[in-house]
Amino acid sequence: MTNQDLLYHYFSNSLTAEQEVVFQTLLESDEEFKAEFEYENSLKKAIKSHESDVLKTKLQGFEHDINSKKTESFNYRYLAVAASLVLLVGWFGYNSFFGTNYSNLYNTNFSEYPNTVYTITRGDDENTLEREAFVAYETKNYETAIEKFDALSETTAQNYIPFYKAQAHLGLENIDDAKTLFTEIVEEDNSDFVAESTWYLALIAIKDKDKEQAKFHLENLIANYSYNQAKAKALLEELN
Amino acid sequence: MESVQENITIEDLKQGSDLLFKQIYEDNRDKFLNFARKYNLPQDDTIDVYQDAYIIFYNNIMEGKVEKFTSSISTYLFSIGKYLIFDKMKKNNKTINPDFDLSLIRERDALVDASFDLDPNDLTAEQVLLKKYFGTLGKKCQELLTLFYYRGYSIKDIIATSEYTSENVVKSAKSRCMKTLKERINSNSND
């Protein structure tokens, strides 16, 4: 058995008792062997530290996912409560005093869709343009986000880009631009955000005081998708 | 989830599945945060400790330091976490209360196996260089050296889990990777 073989066995935890004795003797008597062993042992530590960094990045990514899920479910819960209140107040208001308050309905039900597709804490070697786009989106720099999403759609076919671009337009109150994009998403029907786009089209119709359009989108959402079912039903009832 | 976790074996973990890695992290997270509440650390610090404890646990599994679980995964994580929290407090010179003698609990928690490696990842100057240049090696070299040094794979194990076809091929690939690494470090330190 060569010295190199002894080292192989040492690092794969497979030295026999006999080899262990030879190994220890060599460490004490052979300077060259000792130096090689120490070098490889250092490399082992360096690789472990490298692996730990990789693991830490992964865990930070999980943590980010957990936090965004929490924010999302908080928003949904809040919205569900808000929608019920709207239903009560709206019903009462409609019947007693004012008629449908479209602007309130829109404001109460509208919330910016959270970034659920791109984890910002992912390693920096990822597509940096996409990262920049979502950083801008999350920090509500919608104009920058739109520019980056535009540049991005030239090089990538990710089907969620138009949806988030539409969200950024909503954030800037460019309702018509948002509406065009959402309509395209629903018509093309090949994005992961068709149901969400339908919901936002309904909200836009409410903002435009277009009751028929709003009802059309809500009925479409209730019949074909599971997203925001309860809220859609509540809103529809409100409009009827 | 509990029952799933109780059935997880060292072998399952050693497969290196990302899904399992994530599941165990998520399943034990709330329990750990709850457990650590009594130490009054800021939430971000507690999460940081939980992550470091989880990495230490995982590294020990991957390096083959644990042959079989002697307690539940959460117990391992609590023990390591406790060690890290006291280590952190000692470094920050923070005491829980003035009568508390930190040296008493600095001792290894009996629940953690004696073979467990709890040493912090402090690197010597040489190791820092090795780490830096290891990161510049090609993907294949990084994988091969990681299997060998971090996962403790024998050459036979490596043949069984990779595209290498014989012992000699593995040995010569490994020598080439080591040579490249040495050359890169040397050429840099001669600059």
- The Cα-based distances of A226 to A112, A129, A193, A220, B5 in angstroms read 19, 32, 12, 11, 31
Select from A114, A163, A160 the least CA-distant residue to A139.
Answer: A114
Q: A8 and B154: CB-CB below 8 Å? A: yes
Q: B155 and A43: CB-CB below 8 Å? A: no
The Cα–Cα gap between A233 and A188 comes to 25
Does any CB of chain B come closer than 8 Å to the CB of residue A46? Answer: yes
For the residues A51-72, what does the mean pLDDT come to?
86
Q: What is the pLDDT of residues B12-38, one digit of tens each?
A: 888 778 888 898 999 999 999 998 888
For the residues A57-68, what does the mean pLDDT come to?
88
Q: What is the pLDDT of residues A106-156, one digit of tens each?
A: 877 777 787 777 777 655 555 578 888 888 888 888 899 999 888 888 777
Q: Is the pLDDT of residue B166 over 60?
A: yes
The Cα–Cα gap between A134 and A49 comes to 30
The tokens of B146 are what? 């990681």
- The Cα-based distances of A118 to A75, A123, A150, B173 in angstroms read 19, 12, 16, 37
- ipTM above 0.95 for this complex: no
The per-residue pLDDT for B191 is 53
pLDDT band at B5, cuts 50/70/90? Answer: low
Q: A12 and B145: CB-CB below 8 Å? A: no
- From chain B, the residues in CB contact with A56 under 8 A are 51-52, 55
For the residues A178-192, what does the mean pLDDT come to?
88
Q: A47 and B149: CB-CB below 8 Å? A: yes
Amino acid letter, residue B20: L
A interface test, pick of B50, B150, B159, B178 with most A CB neighbours within 10 Å: B150
pLDDT band at B67, cuts 50/70/90? Answer: confident
Does any CB of chain B come closer than 8 Å to the CB of residue A35? Answer: no
Q: Is the pLDDT of residue B107 over 70?
A: no
The per-residue pLDDT for A108 is 76
List the 8-47 stretch of B: residues with Cβ below 8 A of A.
18, 21-22, 25-26, 29, 47
